[in-house]
Amino acid sequence: MQPPQHVTFRAFAGASDFPAMVACANASFAADQTRFFRTVEDVARDYAAFTQCVPQQDVWIAQAGDEIAGYVRAWHWAQADGLQLYGQFAVVAPQWRRQGIGARLHAWLEARQREMAAALGQAGPHAHHAFVTEGETARAALLEKAGYRPERYFFTMGRPTLQAIADFALPADLEVRAVQPGHYRAIWDAHARAFHAHWGYAPPDEADYQRWLASPVFQPHLWQVAWDVRMNEVAGQVRTYIDTTWNAGNGRQRGWTEFISVGERWRRRGLARALIARSLRAQADAGMQESGLGVDSENASGALRVYTDCGFVVEQRNCVFRKPLELGTASRGA
């Protein structure tokens, strides 16, 4: 299906596009019941911090009069095992769906990613990568038609109240310390070490660290970080945060029990449960009424069982789709 003639396709024009992009994205999120919600300030901050995406080259927009009907964005990163991945963000406002716009945007996006792969000058392997939430059924269908296949499932879990929080004790010889600026690098490095063997792990670099320090999820007053008293090392952590934009957009008071990790030598001693319980109490003290988190459905460390023990239930079943990226010379013509 060819898009309507009055719909044109163009590159990102700069910050002046942000309001219409946000309107398009939020309409798409609402139609798919993703519960995502963005503001112009959020998008401006994110676009200023990109390191593996050049918006003027890697964003393609479907313009319909004064509206943005849809847009896509491409970026690149590498897993620790050498797999080169090409991520994608894609939205089409509901009133512009089923008119060929999504397929046209996706064709451009794949062609752009082939260009990115060719510019890297590496033999591969390379793969297109898309994270799709449970409600994005139209996007999932488009990807499957284009040859993508489910690679891994992830759950969004929620704890509907912050009452009746179990009292899980800290293991012996560990203590939770108030986070100080001098702890930031140790906390960051410990989290990376804890995840090095997990599916999809990509080693963070210095730019990632600096972006983290300036990110809205950087709320150390809420974190629960356990230290090994004898070794003076970070044993485990829960880097709790509150997303006020998400709460405003969804009419909720939810905190996020996220960035949960326990170092290998401290596992299977109940540390994760103890830190999660402390995190939930901190969220309640901050005025939250519920909590959420994301988890790999096949996590090898038993995370799903731990979270269930702490009162979380599955709310959404999300999927990572992948497709081998074949290097070629396809045009990106609109």
pLDDT tens-digit map of 58-97: 999 999 999 999 999 999 999 999 999 999 999 999 999 9
pLDDT for 328 equals 64
- Work out the pLDDT band at 331, boundaries 50, 70, 90: very low
- Say if CB 39 and CB 22 are below 8 A apart: yes
Token couple for 234: 């970070």
Cα distance between residue 6 and residue 9, in whole Å: 10
pLDDT tens-digit map of 89-126: 999 999 999 999 999 999 999 999 999 999 998 777 99
Domains and CATH numbers, the chain: 7-154+320-324 (3.40.630.30), 162-288 (3.40.630.30)
pLDDT for 332 equals 52
Q: What's the CA dihedral at 119, 120, 121, 123 to 10 degrees?
A: -130
Residue 334: Cβ-neighbour burial (10 angstroms; 0-12, 13-18, 19+): middle
Cα distance between residue 117 and residue 75, in whole Å: 10
Q: Are strands 290-296 and 254-256 parallel, antiparallel or unpaired?
A: parallel
pLDDT for 124 equals 73
Query: Is the pLDDT reported for residue 333 higher than 90?
Result: no
**pTM to 2 decimals?**
0.93
Cα distance between residue 319 and residue 296, in whole Å: 10
Characterise 248 by phi-psi region: left (phi > 0), alpha (psi -120 to 50), beta (else): alpha
Q: Stretch 141-163: mean pLDDT, rounded? A: 97
pLDDT for 334 equals 46
